[in-house]
Chain A
């Protein structure tokens, strides 16, 4: 990479411009990290030991993970269809899938609340199965799933588009069933996209807040707790939790990216 930069001046320009983005993100976070970890480490250590905080961070990671699993199970078939077939109303379906990206989170929260509340159309049916969404973990999962599924479907769709459909056709002519050609050809070749789509979806779920506090303020996920602590104890009370969340997520995402890289090499 370095020797190439020396030979290619355009790359130097791209490198500098690209570093502006990275620098911007680091600049935004470094003040917070510095003031917390260097100037006020005591509060940070107290937060690491606070079971309420740890539980909220665990709950955030875990509910977003379940939301992503749902997005993967339901999203792969949808992404495959959207990538492989043209049909009437496809544009409309693609636009519908993108709606959760566009609508304000509070509006999404109110819409989900009306649908999933204990006395809502869907909420009533699920409560008979013992699943409650309102002020419940499953409500958090559904809100995260709602806002993050477009990211998964979009990435997986691009993945399936990048696989030459002829490969599947050849497999079919060689006697593979439709399922076998999907499972053994299209799916493995799309692994990298599916994996990175799932990471995107998981990350988006972790960051969701506006919709969740309407449907399921309780049990508290990390961002709900951060707001509650900000409102009661100010920045001093909320910032250590935010720093811990950032650190946990950063490490997790680095590990996932490495796994994704290794998976793609194989």
Chain B
């Protein structure tokens, strides 16, 4: 078999990697390392929202060799048990508010007044669809957490007043519902499927402020307001604070606010399973860690594993179950 594969080595083996939009740049860098380490392979990256990415495998029956999700929890939620039985958490991120020099009130904005500036009638801000993009529902969580952190009705003024998003409190836990028809009042706020789509709109000057992952802001050289750790979903020390906010998205699933962590797996129906696993290795080994550090998505070291982790990857991960 080995001889056979070596015999037809002229035809490069394709590794299909379906991934969240926010992983595009680091995964391109990983691709270079991977192709250098594994001769005669061709990595094909395909970016989309994380939910969409997973649905391509679970609903459309496409065969990916690697799935990279911006929220590791989507892998067990959507792919277990038929399409995957393990995942690895390998990097973190945080929610920031992006802008450019042309944005209205760019010279004034900071971590203390951002929510007041977003309420000004001549400011247009935007976020990704909470129903499609994890960055979108995380933005909704951040905005609700801002209520609690600043003790001001930020959620009502920014979201409840201008969209169909609603909220309910029960015993100190807030459940936000994002209906399919979000109906943003586009004079003040707009929504796109992927928060990455907002980058070019912000750079063009059509939008003043957009909620993005920090990595996306850094990779696109956008200015950003760094939000306090109690609301930016980065800091594991605030896990219990985050946990007070839940978002029920339109497919019926409920997401609980938690520190942002990326997950990766090789689907059970992968065509080139061994190469998929080798790609994961390039994401979580030292070379991979360096890439993620450089791109503003701090790696989780060691990576955290759950489920039936493949033998070759075990040395890189600490099991969490």
Contact = CB atoms under 8 A, between A and B. Distances in A.
B206 A228 contact: no
Interface string B159-197: 000000000000000000000110010100011110001
B293 interface: no
Nearest to B190: A135
Contact of B204 (A114, A213, A231): A114
Contact of B181 (A52, A134, A136): A52
Contacts of B205: 114, 117, 119-120
B3 to A, nearest CB: 40
Interface stretch (B124-132, B150-158, B263-271, B276-284): B124-132
A97 interface: no
A134 B191 CA distance: 12
Contacts of A228: 129, 131-132, 180, 193
B59 interface: yes
Given A118-B124, A213-B192, A230-B55, A113 B201 contact: yes
What is the size category of the interface that chain B forms with chain A?
Answer: 20 to 34
Given A114-B204, A231-B49, A231-B132, 13 more contacts: A113-B200, A114-B206, A117-B201, A214-B201, A217-B192, A218-B184, A218-B186, A228-B131, A230-B52, A231-B52, A231-B55, A231-B193, A233-B251
A18 to B, nearest CB: 31
B79 interface: no
B249 interface: yes
Nearest to B51: A231
A234 interface: yes
A78 to B, nearest CB: 28
Interface in B43-87: 49, 51-52, 55, 58-60
Nearest to A119: B205
A227 B251 CA distance: 14
Contacts of B184: 135, 218
B250 interface: yes
A135 B193 contact: no
A134 B251 CA distance: 28
Interface string A210-247: 00011001100000000111111111000000000000
Given A232-B131, A232-B251, A217 B193 contact: yes
B245 to A, nearest CB: 20
Contacts of A54: none
Contacts of B200: 110, 113, 214
Nearest to B133: A231
A104 to B, nearest CB: 13
Contacts of A233: 250-251
Interface string B21-61: 00000000000000000000000000001011001001110
A263 B59 CA distance: 46
A235 B206 contact: no
A52 B186 CA distance: 18
A7 B16 CA distance: 53
Contacts of A117: 201, 204-206
Contacts of B193: 213, 217, 227-228, 231
Contacts of A136: 186
A134 B129 contact: no
29 contacts: A110-B200, A113-B204, A113-B206, A114-B204, A114-B206, A117-B201, A117-B206, A120-B206, A135-B186, A135-B190, A213-B197, A214-B192, A214-B200, A214-B201, A217-B191, A218-B184, A218-B186, A228-B131, A228-B193, A230-B52, A231-B52, A231-B193, A232-B51, A232-B131, A232-B132, A233-B250, A233-B251, A234-B59, A235-B59
Contacts of A229: 180
B206 A118 contact: yes
**4 cross-chain pairs, A with B, having the tightest CB-CB distances, nearest first:** A117-B206, A135-B186, A231-B132, A114-B204
Contacts of B51: 231-232
A99 B198 CA distance: 25
Interface string B197-215: 1001100111000000000
A218 B129 contact: no
B307 to A, nearest CB: 23
Greatest chain B CB density within 10 A among A110, A113, A114, A135 is at A135
A119 B49 contact: no
Nearest to B61: A235
A217 to B, nearest CB: 6
Interface string A88-128: 00000000000000000000001001100111100000000
B193 to A, nearest CB: 7
Interface in A108-158: 110, 113-114, 117-120, 134-136
Contacts of A218: 184, 186, 190-191
A213 B184 CA distance: 15
